[in-house]
């Protein structure tokens, strides 16, 4: 069995000192005092006294291959950005290119502390293969839409992708990924609902991302986006909606009651829409919240540590109340909230939980004075403080090196250019 040592262990339940985490196969076997380590059959020890150990961060909404478009179309309104900049470029994708750029995106996410991605994109097989290559835990959906002419998002391919991958890999799992409430018809959503009930799959979908989306749904269906999801029968605990920027008070209540998760992409939507979703209102009504980076074009990085800080700050600004979106709340969203959405036993450093763990080097100026490590993690840390990442009990990132892929970060990016 492996042991992971650190000066401190931090999860949403609090901080522990002088403890070691024992890992057997893919799970946490136990968390024990360091001086008791001798009593266990440990053959490998990782970490050291300059580390903080946290649960892996769950990046609950990504489009990892979009690293290709980083820096293109900045500072434009969302509808214009999507229709005039992004979609024309996306129509040119080839599977080979998706694979290469997905490797970059996934590697970046891992290097900044993500142990899980929930990805929504085209040529999903390639993203699944890139995930396997690097060893990240991945939930992947093939984007499906039928109200927009988009040959690489043919709905049928979404179902086929699911079937191809449902029993193929221990940690790479398929989901269904209808694009958004304004690009997917009621008929298709109903088909997705039936398929998801039969196959017990998660549904990952953009909801109420822009004002235009809300207007289009209202015009076409005579209801608001969340009411539309309810009407189609997909709004339940298997539903992972993303953004929800324009949810009305009534939609917030409906959403919270349904048991569905809303993924908050604070940076991306602040940049694209100049707006913050009613996250606090949903949270206070009992809804589940997760956090995601979205993509490298709208974010423009895949750094979940930075994302936690932005989620906290932007929600304080939105509610004009500094007591909202506390460090503990956003850390919960990035760990337990994401695990709950994806139905995995992760997000806490406890016996029997998945060994998805991150070691952060706290031997740095911005971690001084170490009096409040939760605050230091959310408000002072940077993704680059991450040094070692474990997924399913295996070391998949070690200070710039990806052991499974046998490549350094600079080698992965050099291959693209």
Q: For Zn ion, give the closer residue by CB, 3 or 140.
A: 140
- Give the interface size with Zn ion as a residue count (CB under 5 A): 1
Which residues, 237 to 296, sit near Zn ion by CB under 5 A? 294
Question: For residue 86, how many C-alpha atoms fall within 13 Å in the half-sphere facing its CB?
Answer: 21
User: Which is nearest to 278 in space by CA: 262, 293, 294, 267?
Assistant: 262
Q: For Zn ion, give the closer residue by CB, 64 or 280.
A: 64
Q: Give the Cα separation of 225 and 242 in Å (integer).
A: 12
In sequence order, the β-bridge partners of residue 142 are 121, 176
Q: Which helix (H) or strand (E) covers residue 8, if one does?
A: strand 8-11
Q: For Zn ion, give the closer residue by CB, 52 or 269.
A: 269
In the complex, what is the shortest distance from the CB of residue 112 to Zn ion, in angstroms, rounded to a whole number? 18
Name the strands in the sheet holding 394-398, side by side, starting at the edge strand that comes first in the sequence: 14-17, 8-11, 51-55, 357-361, 386-391, 394-398, 401-402, 407-408
In the complex, what is the shortest distance from the CB of residue 279 to Zn ion, in angstroms, rounded to a whole number? 16
In the complex, what is the shortest distance from the CB of residue 30 to Zn ion, in angstroms, rounded to a whole number? 38
In the complex, what is the shortest distance from the CB of residue 75 to Zn ion, in angstroms, rounded to a whole number? 18
In the complex, what is the shortest distance from the CB of residue 244 to Zn ion, in angstroms, rounded to a whole number? 12
- Which two three-digit tokens encode residue 16? 């522990």
User: Which is nearest to 308 in space by CA: 116, 56, 57?
Assistant: 57
Count CB atoms within 10 A of the CB of residue 66.
Answer: 26
In the complex, what is the shortest distance from the CB of residue 89 to Zn ion, in angstroms, rounded to a whole number? 15
Q: Give the Cα separation of 350 and 14 in Å (integer).
A: 12
247: alpha, beta or left, given left = phi > 0 and alpha = psi -120 to 50?
Answer: beta
Q: For Zn ion, give the closer residue by CB, 6 or 59.
A: 59
Distances (CA, A) of 20 to 27, 80, 370, 376: 14, 51, 19, 21
Q: For Zn ion, give the closer residue by CB, 209 or 258.
A: 209
DSSP string for 282-329 = HHHTT-EEEE--B-TTTS-S--HHHHHHHHHHHHHHHHT-TTSS-HHH
Q: For Zn ion, give the closer residue by CB, 209 or 392.
A: 209
Q: Give the Cα separation of 73 and 90 in Å (integer).
A: 13
Q: For Zn ion, give the closer residue by CB, 126 or 294.
A: 294
In the complex, what is the shortest distance from the CB of residue 121 to Zn ion, in angstroms, rounded to a whole number? 9
Q: Give the Cα separation of 280 and 312 in Å (integer).
A: 10
List b or e across 222-251, with b for residues whose CB sees 16 or more CB atoms inside 10 angstroms: eebbbbbbbebebbeebbbbbbbbbbeeeb
Which residues, 288 to 327, sit near Zn ion by CB under 5 A? 294
In the complex, what is the shortest distance from the CB of residue 166 to Zn ion, in angstroms, rounded to a whole number? 23
In the complex, what is the shortest distance from the CB of residue 96 to Zn ion, in angstroms, rounded to a whole number? 23
Q: For Zn ion, give the closer residue by CB, 11 or 294.
A: 294
Q: For Zn ion, give the closer residue by CB, 136 or 349.
A: 136
In the complex, what is the shortest distance from the CB of residue 94 to Zn ion, in angstroms, rounded to a whole number? 21
Q: Are strands 2-5 and 44-47 parallel, antiparallel or unpaired?
A: parallel
Name the residue whose CB lies closest to Zn ion.
Answer: 294
Q: Are strands 239-243 and 203-207 parallel, antiparallel or unpaired?
A: parallel
**Helices within 68-166 (DSSP H only):** 78-80, 87-90, 95-111, 124-134, 155-165
Q: For Zn ion, give the closer residue by CB, 139 or 402.
A: 139
Binding site for Zn ion (CB under 5 A): 294
């Amino acid at each position: 069995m492996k042991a992971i040592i650190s000066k401190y262990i931090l999860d949403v339940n609090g901080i522990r000192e002088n403890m070691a985490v024992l890992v057997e196969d893919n799970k946490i076997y136990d968390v024990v005092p360091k001086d008791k380590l001798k009593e266990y059959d440990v053959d490998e020890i990782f970490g050291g006294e300059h580390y903080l150990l946290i649960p892996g961060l769950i990046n609950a909404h990504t489009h990892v291959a979009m690293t290709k478009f980083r820096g293109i179309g900045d500072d434009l309104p969302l509808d214009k950005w999507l229709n005039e900049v992004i979609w024309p470029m996306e129509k040119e994708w080839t599977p080979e290119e998706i694979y290469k750029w997905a490797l970059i995106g996934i590697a970046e996410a891992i290097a900044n502390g993500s142990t899980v991605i929930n990805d929504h994109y085209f040529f999903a097989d390639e993203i699944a293969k890139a995930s396997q290559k690097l060893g990240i835990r991945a939930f992947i959906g093939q984007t499906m839409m039928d109200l927009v002419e988009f040959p690489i998002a043919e709905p049928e391919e979404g179902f086929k992708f699911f079937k191809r991958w449902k029993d193929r890999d221990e940690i790479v799992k398929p989901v269904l990924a209808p694009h958004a409430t304004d690009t997917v018809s009621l008929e298709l959503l109903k088909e997705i609902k039936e398929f998801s009930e039969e196959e017990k799959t998660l549904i990952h979908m953009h909801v109420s991302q822009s004002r235009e989306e809300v207007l289009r749904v209202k015009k076409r269906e005579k209801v608001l986006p969340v009411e539309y999801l309810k009407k189609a029968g997909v709004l339940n605990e298997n539903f992972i909606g993303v953004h929800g920027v324009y949810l009305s008070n009534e939609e917030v209540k409906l959403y919270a009651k349904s048991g569905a998760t809303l993924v908050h992409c604070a940076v991306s939507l602040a940049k694209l829409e100049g707006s913050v979703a009613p996250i606090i209102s949903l949270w206070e009504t009992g809804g589940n919240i997760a956090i995601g980076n979205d993509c490298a074009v709208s974010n423009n990085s895949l750094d979940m540590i930075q994302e936690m800080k932005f989620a906290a700050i932007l929600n304080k600004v939105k509610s004009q109340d500094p007591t909202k979106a506390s460090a503990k709340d956003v850390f919960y969203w990035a760990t337990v909230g994401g695990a709950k959405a994806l139905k995995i036993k992760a997000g806490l450093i406890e016996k029997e939980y998945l060994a998805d763990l991150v070691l952060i080097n706290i031997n740095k100026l911005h971690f001084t004075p170490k009096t409040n490590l939760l605050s230091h993690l959310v408000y002072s840390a940077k993704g680059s403080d991450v040094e070692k990442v474990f997924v399913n009990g295996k070391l998949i990132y070690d200070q710039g090196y990806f052991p499974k892929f046998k490549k350094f970060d600079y080698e992965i990016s050099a291959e693209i250019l």
